[in-house]
Structure 1
């Protein structure tokens, strides 16, 4: 039962994350919303909403208790800055310079990065499945970024740069969250991490520096979707899934995310997507599904290794 709940949470959260990225691209394109402002605003509001849900629905004492232990407080600040903020900003920056489909697919190099990390720490062994996974990732990225032409990048270099950083941030975010979740509810960890990240970015772009009067009703609807579904629920469900799924498994079973981002980017935003980019997309999604077919025992071992890391 817990496993089925975990699967539902990670797939639902991933779908909202992919859709939220496409909606963000719509805001960048049509309403010239600044990426720094959007990340700051969505983190602060979503974080506040999550802590509010914790206050009225669960053990409210945890909201402040997480700060009473120095070691836990430091871990939470690191998670908020190098995990939550890094994931949010790099992903949105990749979308701004490219599109949601490419940004999401590059972000899904995170499972490969987790495998490499576990190999480096000698906490797992390299299997034929891992070799095939890496091959699919490399082939997929090549076609995705070049559309089959080696003479030039089909995707802007800045979009690639931020997309790869986003993958690294997701890998860190997934592994680093495990020890914190053993002590506190996911609402507390995700909520405070969002507020920490949003507060830090406020020094670069204060959230109140925005002319809301110039935005039509449609833009407010998009903002609400990004904050509630694309941020609050997406991150909450993903982190909550780590309670019943291993970190590598959670990072892989969200294969619906790149699919949602690609389909909405192509069919809703009408972004061009070449034939070889579809081949690259298939390779990366195939990589995710291949890794997701690991047995439960294997993923549990990886989870115990990751928590030790």
Structure 2
């Protein structure tokens, strides 16, 4: 019986010395064997370097050697873009490093792809403050605006993100000022007058119609006014439309109405319907606030 051949060892990508006609030597001493034509197509900097013969001279018959200042971790991510290969997994930490390399070597395709990565939902949802900083750094106002809005449901003061080091203090001020203006706009939607009247827009809106006409004492309408006041104060600090239907906000209203023979039977349906109306109005107000984007 024949013995099966041992599996052939496959070198890591771009590590096969039999491939390519130039060596990229990284700052940590790793050699990548690549095709100069691919690098030239991807980067005018390398195209000029090869055309003018500025690459490091090697012994006759050997591949020229080009020393670069980036570590191998960066080039492992960069080379697939140059060779039109399958894109590697990209993390948020990779983006600024690849953007810097893309700028340095004038790799336009890399720059555009990194900007596109900032749109990824997992980055926007999990690290909106970091995405905001990177979007300002790369001059992508649309992404900065989306990320800024994702921060509104978060803490009053921005969470730490090392990406802040890439932008100016003015960019961070603009983010805080945006939140302040969103808070004012959101709170105005539910602002109660001194006479305890609900906002004018609500007079003809189907927001808790039964509670507004309820005759109980102190009245379910009173608990609704108190709800609006709590929501007003909360929105100024955290301009998040979902607060309108949060349990903490609605529980006192429901508890009061359950003691009322007129409102108890419909309170759950009424409060949720009303909260959704408020959410929509608050979201509309916040959407009108514009972010000033500065790098």
TM-score, normalised by the number of residues in structure 1: 0.22
Query: Which protein is richer in helix relative to its size?
Result: 1
TM-score, normalised by the number of residues in structure 2: 0.23
Instruction: Specify the structure having the higher radius of gyration (Cα).
Output: 2
